[in-house]
Amino acid sequence: MLCRAACSTSRKLVPGLGALGSRRKHSLPDLPYDYGALEPHINAQIMQLHHSKHHAAYVNNLNIAEEKYREALEKGELLEAIKHDFGSFKNFKEKLTAVSVGVQGSGWGWLGFSKEQGRLQIAACSNQDPLQGTTGLIPLLGIDVWEHAYYLQYKNVRPDYLKAIWNVISWENVAARYMACKK
């Protein structure tokens, strides 16, 4: 009985994310009795330690695990869209890299979402030209190919910089942007 009350949370289902899509985080429930209520068999200090430290850590770790799972689901949906629109992640990566290498002078390589077509697209913009303003695409991932972004480390070898940039992309951020623009 106590566990049912202590472990329950309200959950609303969202397609694609199940119960994780819009639920609030779990919180440490109050005990329905004082820490000292089980004395002399279990003292108040033990109860306080177990409830406020151990049980709290379990609740916190559950929230962390569910957030990571939600992010994985989002990334999975983004990955499926990439596979659908480009054939594979490898094809996508090669195409965005090639477009970014091909920017003359300064600019950006972009992964964007077309609301009109309901699909992902790759584009390049010169200088400070905004992606959405020039192409209508909603920006999901931008790769800065202005020389100041890489020159000190990669000199004028833009392809080496673009090879390395894939190791630091925040896919959680890209997936969140993708999920937001689909709404």
**161: alpha, beta or left, given left = phi > 0 and alpha = psi -120 to 50?**
alpha
Residue of 110 and 1 predicted with greater confidence = 110
Give the torsion sign (CA, 18, 112, 93, 159). Answer: negative
Mean predicted lDDT score pLDDT of the chain: 85
| Tokens standing for residue 165 | 């940039």
Residue of 4 and 124 predicted with greater confidence = 124
Other C-beta atoms lying within 10 Å of the C-beta of residue 23: 17
Q: Binding site, residues?
A: 50, 144, 148
User: Is it the case that residue 106 has pLDDT exceeding 80?
Assistant: yes
Q: Model confidence over 36-73: pLDDT tens digits? A: 999 999 999 999 999 999 999 999 988 888 887 777 66
How far is the C-alpha of 113 from the C-alpha of 142, rounded, in Å?
12
Task: Quote the pLDDT of residue 55.
Answer: 92
**Residue 166, class by beta-carbon neighbours within 10 Å (0-12 exposed, 13-18 middle, 19+ buried)?**
exposed
Q: Model confidence over 116-144: pLDDT tens digits? A: 999 999 999 999 899 999 999 999 999 99
User: Is it the case that residue 7 has pLDDT exceeding 60?
Assistant: no
> Would you list the DSSP string of 20-36?
TSSPPPP-PPPPSS-GG
Q: Binding site for Mn(2+), residues?
A: 50, 144, 148
Regarding pTM above 0.75, the answer is no
